[in-house]
Amino acid sequence: MEFSQRLQPLQSNVFADMDRAKTLARAAGKNVIDLSLGSSDLPTAAHITDAIAHSLSDPKTHGYLLFNGTKSFREAAAIWYEQKFGISVNPETEVLPLIGSQEGTAHLPLAVLNPGDFALLLDPGYPSHAGGVYLAGGQIYPMPLLAENQFLPVFEDIPQAVLAQSKMMVLSYPHNPTTAIAPLAFFDKAVAFCREHRLVLVHDFPYVDLVFDDSGLEAAGSEENRKLMAPSIFEADRDKSVSIEFFTLSKSYNMGGFRVGYAIGNPEIIQALRQVKAAVDFNQYEGILNGAIAALTGPQDTVKTSVETFRKRRDTFVRALQNIGWQVPIPPATMYVWAKLPEPWARDSVKFCSELVQSTGVAASPGAGFGKSGEGYVRFALVESPEILAEAVRKIAEFFN
């Protein structure tokens, strides 16, 4: 059978290769320690699952949710954002419920790009950002993220010819996979750049809460809710002139499997994305939206507990790697460790990861899977207990020896 050309760039996927390597390792009797997926192993809090369970027995939640999700969900998202960042959000025109933030970021290019238009993406970056652009028939200009630039893109390096054909830029900080945080001054620059070049500025913000207390950030937020926070794009684009920001319940509230997120942004961009979604889905199940409302409006101490859990894991893992002579920087945010590969793997992260899983059962993500500039690195997701992470490092040491 012949399928569309737009599927072609989606064919090569190093993560699918890694899945095969994991399956082979399991078949060979290895006990696989899977640090390759950024899927939280922590449970969803009981007040959230209770809200979903309660909804399940209410037949009023069983039908289609047309148009825009529920008003109560949009309001909960707007209030959550306002309390955190002190910037007001109109729940009717500036919030759009999503079936996970990946769904939204992958669909947005269909609303923004004409075939052949460029999207400016972070390299390395989250693979579905590129996937969405390919599905929309767009072209990608990868903006390299280098350690010497604090993993921030250099806008001056984008060729004029590309810029002239560009319609959108996608940022995402705290950044998966490099763990970098962007300072607000960088967002100021990004907003000015996107205004000047008439680009839609997309900020994917799943790790809004996953920032560690030694990250170097200063506490910010409203009086009653001062805490460490990575900046939101709307702190740089207060009148929401060019930006849309994507949020998810997957990370802060350990709800990855429930598939629920939302976008906040410029009303015209929100409306354009809503039009695309109206053609492809009928929104998330209302019971899950009710769980998300419980998460956003309920006690937030579970978020703090999760961050503390990931901080302890990070400390154990990084210290153990350093003890075996692998010098990796301490991540300021996210649930990952981004480690530069030593020789002889410095130019072949796929080889390193497949050999590592086959010989030890430890699975990590090859940096090359996140883009060309990710080559030479490997990403470990901190999705196991400190004891298992320490065991993984013991196995990595054996592998090196």
| Residues at the contact surface with ligand PLP, assessed by CB under 6 A | 38, 100-102, 126, 172, 176, 204, 206, 248, 250, 256, 261
CB of 55 to ligand PLP, least distance (A): 20
CB of 122 to ligand PLP, least distance (A): 9
Of the pair 320, 378, the CB lying nearest ligand PLP is at: 378
Q: How far apart are CA 392 and CA 401, in angstroms?
A: 14
What is the distance in angstroms between the CA of the first residue and the CA of the last residue of the chain? Answer: 48
CB of 111 to ligand PLP, least distance (A): 18
Of the pair 15, 399, the CB lying nearest ligand PLP is at: 15
Of the pair 136, 263, the CB lying nearest ligand PLP is at: 263
CB of 206 to ligand PLP, least distance (A): 5
Of the pair 173, 345, the CB lying nearest ligand PLP is at: 173
Of the pair 100, 331, the CB lying nearest ligand PLP is at: 100
* CA-wise closest residue to 335 among 302, 382, 392, 390: 382
| β-bridge partners, 202 | 170, 244
At 297, list the tokens: 């409006």
DSSP one-letter code for 96: E
Of the pair 125, 361, the CB lying nearest ligand PLP is at: 125
CB of 322 to ligand PLP, least distance (A): 25
Of the pair 231, 261, the CB lying nearest ligand PLP is at: 261
Enumerate the H helices of 29-88 as residue ranges.
46-56, 71-85
- Determine contact, residues 333/215, Cβ cutoff 8 Å: yes
CB of 201 to ligand PLP, least distance (A): 16
CB of 391 to ligand PLP, least distance (A): 24
At 249, list the tokens: 């319940």
* CA-wise closest residue to 371 among 173, 17, 203, 122: 122
Enumerate the H helices of 61-183 as residue ranges.
71-85, 101-112, 127-135, 160-164
CB of 27 to ligand PLP, least distance (A): 27
- What secondary structure does DSSP assign to 305-365, as a single string? HHHHHHHHHHHHHHHHHHHTT---PPPSBSSEEEEEPPTTSTT-HHHHHHHHHHHH-EE-E
Q: How far apart are CA 240 and CA 167, in angstroms?
A: 17
Of the pair 176, 284, the CB lying nearest ligand PLP is at: 176
Cβ contacts of 292 within 8 Å, gap of 6 or more:
48, 73, 76, 249, 253, 255, 258, 260
Of the pair 38, 109, the CB lying nearest ligand PLP is at: 38
CB of 121 to ligand PLP, least distance (A): 11
Of the pair 76, 320, the CB lying nearest ligand PLP is at: 76
At 51, list the tokens: 């809200």
CB of 101 to ligand PLP, least distance (A): 4
DSSP one-letter code for 168: E
Q: How far apart are CA 108 and CA 126, in angstroms?
A: 15
CB of 345 to ligand PLP, least distance (A): 24
Count CB-CB contacts under 10 A for residue 223.
6
* CA-wise closest residue to 65 among 332, 260, 336, 243: 260
Cβ contacts of 308 within 8 Å, gap of 6 or more:
none
Amino acid at position 316, single letter: T
CA 1 vs. chain centroid, Å, equals 34
Of the pair 282, 400, the CB lying nearest ligand PLP is at: 282
